[in-house]
Structure formats: structure tokens, C-alpha cells
Structure 1
Amino acid sequence: MKFERLLVLIDAERKDQPALQRAAWLAERTGAELHLLLCAFSSSLDHNLFLEGPRLEQARDAFLEERRNWLDTLAAPLRSNGGKVHTRVIWSKQRQRASLDAISALQPDLVFKSAHHHGLLKRLLLSNSDWELLRHCPAPLWLVHHGEWQARKLCAALDPLHSADKPAALDHRLIDIAGELATQLGLEPHYLHSFAPLPRSLVFDLEMVMSYEQYSSKCASQHREAFEQLLAQHTIPPTSSHLLEGYAEQRIPAFVREQGIDLLLMGAISRGQLDAAIIGNTAERVLDEVECDLLVVKPATTP
């Protein structure tokens, strides 16, 4: 994975810009260039009874110029420190669609976005726009929880048996990206797989119920073997691998909390009618419960 071109989706409604802080932190360590994108819109300048034709266009131009100046104030400290920063303001009522179009055109190595969070809760709260990007963003998407972070540990959540219908290559891509981030940024990497056999109460086959312990043991062995075979193809020390029994939506957030993980990597897939993208019910529940930054990775596209 390259770290040459980073795109930051600026949120004009926020005083702080956590995504910009994280992207600037990464750019400083990798030499990547930053692209700041602001999708601006004002309903009063869309259709106005008192402004028509050229006057409405002039008012809209003035509004966009004000947004450009504000964006340049965000970029100024980064430029003064020697960073290469590009800024762009787009007028668009459909901000998510405009953002996705810009991402497709620029083809950044990483996209950063500040995720909304509730002040009374530690966990990350994803908005509708966050989910829209998660489902459709073609580039790896880094959702930033808050500006300050410890930058100590990352964790890649893997699925070696592909129970979530993920392609096998995606797990290898997650491992490779985690290793590159760990090496370049000095983060301690961890690799996690969580599994859960069917509960006894949901097993309706009488013969299986009578040998439930054998079934549970066989299930654990299958997941352990698949996890070990996956990691054996990479240089990963045993102390960095974690095989946990339990439902992923419970075990992964708990692991993130207990281990002080700062960045969680998860895979996403695209399937369904009209190429609608989803990331799976289990993954969605995990993402809505974690208390750290999220890096969501899609399968690599073939040129």
C-alpha cells in the first residue's frame, strides 16, 4: 500500500477537524501530499426569490470564495511546515455523491473522514453519511474518532474461514496493510480472529445435541487451523495473534478496549443488486461499538 496521496473530507460543521489532524500526522511521517476537499452548499443560495440570474450566481461565488479562504486557513500551518497541501471546494447539494465522484477521480491511497461521536459515550457513533462512505468508497477509508490519539497499537480483524463471504485475498491485504502501517508509523500490530459455534439452544439436530461438546471442539479446531495457516504465510510472531471464542460483535470491541487499540482494520465487501455495497451485519455491529479509529479496506481492484 502506498502513502503518497491522502484525501481529507472536511466537515464545515465542525470546529475541530480530527480527520485533518490524523492525515497530517500520517503525511508528516510518510511524505504524502494532502488533498483537502470541502463539499459546500447553502439552501438559501440554491433557489432564492430575491436573487435571480447573475445576482444569485455572484452570491454563490462569494459564498464559495469564503469557503476556499477558510479551507486555506486550515492548510496554512501544514504548508508552513513544508507539507504539500492541495485544497478544493465543490458546490454540491448531494455531498456524499460529490465526495465519491472526487474520490474516484483523484484515486487517493487513503481517505480520511471525521466520524461523529457523542460526548457522553466513548464509543464511536456512525452517521448516515459515514455508512454511505463505508459502503461505497473505493479507497481504504480511515474514520477518525477524535483528534488526539496514542498511536501505539493497531489490530487487523481477520476472517480466515470467510464466514462473512469475504474473498480470501482480503485477509492477506489486511495483514499487508497492517504490517506496512506498523513498520512506517511505529505501531504495535495485532491480528485477531473471533469465532462462535452455534449455541446449544439453536442446534435442532438430536444427534448433534447429544455430542455438542464434540461439535464445539471440532469448530474451535477448524478455526484455529485456518487462522494458523493464514498467519503462517506472513511473518507474524505468536504473541501478536489472538484467537478468541465468542461473537465478533462482542469480542472485538472488548479486545479493542482491553488492549488499548488505537486503530482497528476491518474488511468490507460489495455484493447485492445493482452493485450495492454492504459490509455485513456482523461487521456493522462491530463498527458501531468500537472506541477507536477505524480503517475499512475493500478487496484490491484489478487494473
Structure 2
Amino acid sequence: MDKILVNLDLKHDPTSLLQKAAVMANQYGAALELFCCCYNRSITHGYMFDKEQELKAEHAYIRQVEEKLEKLSLPLIEQGLEVGFDVAWNRHRGEGVVRQVLRHQPDLLMHGIQPHTRLGHYLFASVDWQIARKSPVPVLFVKDRPWNEITRITACIDPLHEGDEHAKLDREIMAQSYKLAQEGMGELRVLHCYNTLPHEAIFDEHLITDYEALQDKVETLHLRRCNLLLEEYGLSTDSYQVDMLKGESDLIISNYAKHNEIDIITMGAVARSVFDRLLVGSTIEHVVDHVDCDVLLVKPDGFICPVEE
């Protein structure tokens, strides 16, 4: 990992995000680029009939933001890190961040998400969804909770996902998680959640009489697919690092992260329909909303970014 782009929202305290960015940069010897996509509606509307003055006000506002980023970069530079900063004016902040990714070509985008008003939970805002859907590089959604001394990383795989052709997404999930664990001196775990067919959902009398055999067949298929993926990393479903749990994935992942004090959960996004919000499934939204750890979102190899630079 050579370059990390850190997206900052200066309306919120960036301390936790910058601390984690510094840890990542130190571990990988990576350069940091602090970025802020800003926009002030008052400037656009206030100088509606004087374009020249509007541009002057816009540039002055950008300079103020640059000064704030420069101030935030100084402690990082004092740690011996290579740090740059950049500001862009764009009313569509999510798209502006993705355009910066295309320009800067980082290996990772770090993006802080804020607690929702509901009981302190987190919830994807429109900007978060834009970034999650469109970023061509992995996105680490960062929360305020500090990491353990040895970072605990969990790769959430699903080799039987109907939208994941040839398990491309799972391979990317494993590759990114393995990279974090190996290079960052972290601890890697692998989690696969799956469901078997409930007895009450079977209406064929022949299947009802052989229900246990059907369940065994399903579990065997999950084991076989997981082992095909895991053997590339010297792991198997018998490894102590691997857990296969039966149940609804969003609830299982949330409980698993809390019980095992996980720092980073790695998940994937697959396009499921033409509707924007469905690119990232409800499972990811539920997990982000209910866990207090960070979530690394990756795309399958060959993902085409819908935004042009």
C-alpha cells in the first residue's frame, strides 16, 4: 500500500480518523493525502449576478479550508509521515470524493461516518452511499472507537452469493483482509454466515421425510465452497481462525464483532439492480449501523467506476 486518501468533513472532529490514518501510514510506509470536498451555498446564491465576485469568494473559501488541512497535517508530518492535502469545490460531495480518488489513484480511501441520532447508532448518509457505491478502491468507513494494539480483522465471505460470479468478490475480500493482517501485524479471522431451509418452508412430502439429509447436503456445499477459497491462504474450515455460523448474516456479524472485539470487518458490494441504493445491500447498512467497529468495503476485481474524472 503506497497511497492513502483521507476524506475529511471539517464539520466533525477528525481526531480518530487522523489517528487511524497515521497508524495505517506507519504500518505500510504509505503517503497520506488529506482531502476535503467543500461547498458553500451562500456564496453561490449571494453572488448570483456577479460571476467574478463569486469566483473570488469561492477561492477565498477554498484557501480557508486549505489552511485548516495544512494545520491538521503538521502533527502527522512531525511523526515523519509524508503528507499532502487538497481541496475541491463540488456541491455533490460524494461524487467529488470519488473524482479525487480517480485523480489521486490511492490504494485505500478512509472516510469517517458519524453517529445517527437514534441511540447513538450509525447510519449511512447520502454521501456515504455515494462513496460506497462508486469508489473504485476499497473504502474504510471509520468510527471513533480506537483499535486494539493488535488489529483484529474479520473477512466476511459468502462463496455461494448468487451475484458473485466465480467468487471474485470473496477473493478480493480475502486479499484485502490478508494484506491488512500480514503487513499491518494484525490478526485475521474469517466468518461465513449461512442459512439452511427451515422445516416449515418445505412443502414436498418427499423432502420432509429426508429433511436432515437435505440439511447435511446444504452444509456440505457451504463447507466445500469455503474450503476452495480458503486453501489459497493456507486455511480451511477446520482452522481456528475460521468460523461458520448459521443464521441471518446481519445479526450474526453484529454479534460476532461485539463478542470478539473486532476492529475491522471486511465486506463486499455487488450490483444487484439498476436502482442506486441497491448496489450496497441492506446487510451492509445493518452492519454499519449496529457495530461499533470500522467496516472495509471492497468491490470485485474489474469493477467499473460510474464517475468520470
TM-score of the pair, normalised by structure 1: 0.90
Which residue pairs with 2:206 in the alignment? Answer: 207
Inter-CA distance 219–55: structure 2 relative to 1 (3 Å threshold): same
Q: 2 CA distance for matches of 1:290 and 1:140?
A: 19
Query: Could you tell me whether the CA contact under 8 Å between 1:136 and 1:277 is conserved in 2?
Result: no
- Which runs of 5 or more residues in structure 2 are unaligned? 305-309
Shift of 1:9: 0.7
Shift of 1:257: 1.0
Q: 2 CA distance for matches of 1:240 and 1:294?
A: 19
> 1:288 aligns to what SS in structure 2?
helix
Shift of 1:153: 0.9
> 1:295 aligns to what SS in structure 2?
strand
| Alignment-mate amino acid for residue 240 of structure 2 | T
Matched, 1:183 2:182: yes
- Which runs of 5 or more residues in structure 1 are unaligned? none
Answer with 269-278 or 9-18: which moved more.
269-278
| Alignment-mate amino acid for residue 218 of structure 2 | C
Identity of aligned residues (%): 29
The partner residue of 1:52 within 30, 50, 53 is 50
Q: Deviations over 1:153-204 (max 9, x none)?
A: 1100011222454541222222222222111211111011111112223223
> 2:233 aligns to what SS in structure 1?
coil
Shift of 1:41: 0.9
Q: Deviations over 1:64-120 (max 9, x none)?
A: 111110110111111122211111111111111111111122221000000112477
Shift of 1:49: 5.6
> 2:46 aligns to what SS in structure 1?
coil
| Alignment-mate amino acid for residue 42 of structure 2 | S
> 1:132 aligns to what SS in structure 2?
helix
Q: 1 CA distance for matches of 2:54 and 2:280?
A: 42
Query: Could you tell me whether the CA contact under 8 Å between 1:22 and 1:147 is conserved in 2?
Result: no
Query: Could you tell me whether the CA contact under 8 Å between 1:191 and 1:241 is conserved in 2?
Result: yes
- Corresponding residue pairs, total: 301
Which residue pairs with 2:233 in the alignment? Answer: 234
Answer with 256-265 or 8-17: which moved more.
8-17
| Alignment-mate amino acid for residue 215 of structure 1 | L
Inter-CA distance 251–50: structure 2 relative to 1 (3 Å threshold): closer
Q: 2 CA distance for matches of 1:156 and 1:86?
A: 31
Query: Could you tell me whether the CA contact under 8 Å between 2:116 and 2:122 is conserved in 1?
Result: yes
Which residue pairs with 2:6 in the alignment? Answer: 8
Query: Could you tell me whether the CA contact under 8 Å between 1:8 and 1:113 is conserved in 2?
Result: yes
Which residue pairs with 2:24 in the alignment? Answer: 26
Query: Could you tell me whether the CA contact under 8 Å between 2:145 and 2:292 is conserved in 1?
Result: no
